[in-house]
Structure 1
Amino acid sequence: MRFSAFIKGSRCSALTGPRLRLALALLLAGSAAAAEAAPPTLHIGPHAFQVEIADTPRERAQGLTGRSYLPADNGMLFVFERPGRYCFWMRDTPLPLSIAFIDATGRIASLADMQPRTETRHCPSVDVRYALEVWQGEFQKRGITPRMRVDGLPK
């Protein structure tokens, strides 16, 4: 009731014909942009993680540094241009994290738990193209193990 009363008494009532179509087109374009901006979701078996993507050298170097909170179903996906043995440490990261090293075919090669604010290096034993960091213990809690497939990875 209030909404229609607002429309009648506002300038929006002048949105007819071409103006209405333009307004709707702009609204739909904004919705499409918002949908594209939504964080990607990765699936490992029945489990879903919304992830931020770190695919540039600067983003990968920053990672989750300085963050004090990460929801259990969120994470950061590190994407590398080509497979390699990329190592991670937690020097300025106050969060306890688990990491999944993922090969170019989308299979988890190995998992590791990483302690906050340490310089211990965590490296995969094989070449990987991706690394997924989540709140520590989430992989174990969900029964996620090496050799499981990760779906939704960017190419």
Structure 2
Amino acid sequence: MISVRHRPFLAAILLAAAVSGCGSTPSAATQEPAAQAAGEPTVQKLRTIPLTIVTNDGKRHSYTVEVAHTSDEQAQGLMYRRTMPKDAGMIFPFPAPRPATFWMRNTYIPLDMVFLLADGRIESILADVPPLNEAQRSSLGPVAAVLELNAGEAARIGVTPGDLVEYDLRDLQGGAE
């Protein structure tokens, strides 16, 4: 019989053993090495799609963006990432337009947040959002998706509200949970 004094200790050992045996570990190719080195959760890269921003001067700017499709993927977002390629980003599509609120908890990369309407037009842009900040940042109204790019990218290409963002999610199965 285990004494009452030792039960919490035993419970912690059993819980650690159970957790270490659950879930799958992404392949080394999909893990973020800096996060692993810092003892942070493993980051799995998501499916990617091509995305194009068409600015009001007619110029087209191409990106490859990860799709945070499920509610779990959207909750994780770009957390624990230390870098993101120049022409990359992440898109958070919603099953129906809604007001969107984001924060930068555990997000080490400064970002531009681009809020998208259902027709692909840009509703608003929050530029140079600082990392590791829990202040909530919101769209002006209901949006169909949020696009995150490296900080300064929106200014670099001259993107403004009303510009068009082209992307196709038809190859993804189901909607956001």
Say whether 1:91 aligns with 2:100.
no
Say whether 1:43 aligns with 2:48.
no
Deviation track 1:69-94 (CA, whole Å, cap 9, x = no partner) reads 00110000001111000100001101
Would you identify which runs of 4 or more consecutive aligned residues in structure 1 move more than 3 Å? none
Aligned AA for 2:51?
L
Higher strand share: 2
Aligned residue pairs: how many?
Answer: 119
Say whether 1:127 aligns with 2:142.
yes
Q: Residues of 2 paired with 1:51 and 1:95: CA distance?
A: 15
**Aligned mate of 1:77, from 80, 83, 91:** 91
Q: Residues of 2 paired with 1:38 and 1:97: CA distance?
A: 20
Deviation track 1:94-149 (CA, whole Å, cap 9, x = no partner) reads 11000100011110000003110001111011110100001000011011111001
Identity of aligned pairs, percent? Answer: 37
Answer yes or no: is the 8 Å Cα contact 2:47–2:67 preserved in 1: no
Q: Which residue of 2 aligns with 1:101?
A: 115
Aligned AA for 1:97?
L
Higher helix share: 1
Cα deviation for residue 38 of structure 1 reads 7.2
Q: Which residue of 2 aligns with 1:58?
A: 72
Listed as ranges, the gaps of 5+ residues in structure 1 are 1-36
Question: What is the TM-score with the length of structure 2 in the denominator?
Answer: 0.65
Listed as ranges, the gaps of 5+ residues in structure 2 are 1-45, 55-59, 171-177
Q: CA, structure 1 residues 118+107, in 2 after alignment: closer, same or farther (shift >3 Å)?
A: same
**Aligned mate of 1:115, from 130, 146, 171:** 130
Note the aligned Cα RMSD (angstroms).
1.4
**Aligned mate of 2:158, from 117, 136, 143:** 143
Q: Residues of 2 paired with 1:138 and 1:110: CA distance?
A: 14
Deviation track 1:50-72 (CA, whole Å, cap 9, x = no partner) reads 00000110000000000000011
Please give the secondary structure, in 2, of the residue aligned with 1:85.
strand
Question: What is the TM-score with the length of structure 1 in the denominator?
Answer: 0.73
Answer yes or no: is the 8 Å Cα contact 1:106–1:153 preserved in 2: no
